[in-house]
Amino acid sequence: MTNTDGLLIPEWDDLPDGIHAVTTTRLGGFSEAPYSSFNLAHHVGDDLPSVKRNRARLADLLELPAVPQWLSQVHGIQVMRFLEPEVATLQADASYTNKPGVPLAIMTADCLPVLIASKDGEELGAAHAGWRGLCDGVIEALTGHFRARPDELTVWLGPAIGPEAFEVGAEVRTAFMAVDPKAELCFVEQSNGKYLADIYGLVRQRLTRLGISSVSGGEYCTVTDKEHFFSYRRDGKTGRMATLIWR
């Protein structure tokens, strides 16, 4: 599943040459419980020097060309365009670049990280797709920044809460069905009146509607795989993984 450094390297169909992508796991860092050990988020209550060491280790492991474009994520659909390396942390839930040497980054601990690349390798995007952002259109907002046509895009779905663990209220199902009635297929009713939601299935539906057919990933569950992944749903106070893409 992971390489010797505890990193998850995507098995991604149609990924063009020269594009690098990775998701971190919770392994191999310096943070102590409950953030043990490779937490990359400043905002979760972890010891900040430990987070700094973890981010420095990430840059060294990946030989990043610049500091990652960290976002202050708010479960919205705002997209930041990065046309050169920046140092500020900006409020948004997706990012786009058409420049080399600009690493895009998304942090998650159950929400779905979505990476997008044009098949010619010229354009890249990353989105934080919790259910609210996904329902409201964060994927549509991000792909709207690409010059490439939908059939010229390829997508990888990173580790997220799996369909056997993501219990939601009826209002979540209703919200998705208001956008696309076919979303009903991604919800399984439970005896308590709630539903199990398949976030991987929901994002694949959105991508299909956009005309994007090259989609890889979507086989992990952050909740059930405690060894490798942080999970807010499982643990409450916990760290965050990072999913990055750059060229």
pLDDT in tens, 181-203: 999 999 999 999 999 999 999 99
Q: pLDDT for 83-142, tens place per residue?
A: 877 666 789 999 999 999 999 999 999 999 999 999 999 999 999 999 999 999 999 999
Say how many C-beta atoms besides its own lie within 10 A of residue 33's C-beta: 9
Residues 117 and 148: their CA atoms lie apart, in Å, by 9
Question: Looking at residue 159, what is its pLDDT?
Answer: 98
CB 187 within 8 A of CB 173: yes
Q: pLDDT for 30-75, tens place per residue?
A: 999 999 999 999 999 999 999 999 999 999 999 999 999 999 999 9
Question: Looking at residue 84, what is its pLDDT?
Answer: 75
> Which candidate, 59, 58, 39, 36, places its Cα nearest to that of 48?
39
CATH of 7-161+203-246, one of 3.30.428.10, 1.10.3210.10, 3.90.960.10, 3.60.140.10: 3.60.140.10
CB 67 within 8 A of CB 87: yes
> Which candidate, 67, 49, 69, places its Cα nearest to that of 58?
67
Question: Looking at residue 90, what is its pLDDT?
Answer: 82
pTM for this predicted structure: 0.95
Residues 6+ apart with CB under 8 A from 102: 65, 66, 69, 82, 83, 84, 85, 246
Question: Looking at residue 5, what is its pLDDT?
Answer: 75
Question: Looking at residue 2, what is its pLDDT?
Answer: 63
Question: Looking at residue 87, what is its pLDDT?
Answer: 63
* Side-chain half-sphere CA neighbours of 150 within 13 A: 11
Residue 6 has pLDDT above 90, yes or no: no
Helix (H, G, I), strand (E, B) or coil at 225: coil
Residue 4 has pLDDT above 80, yes or no: no
Question: Looking at residue 53, what is its pLDDT?
Answer: 97
In which band, very low, low, confident or very high, does the pLDDT at 217 lie, cut at 50, 70 and 90?
very high
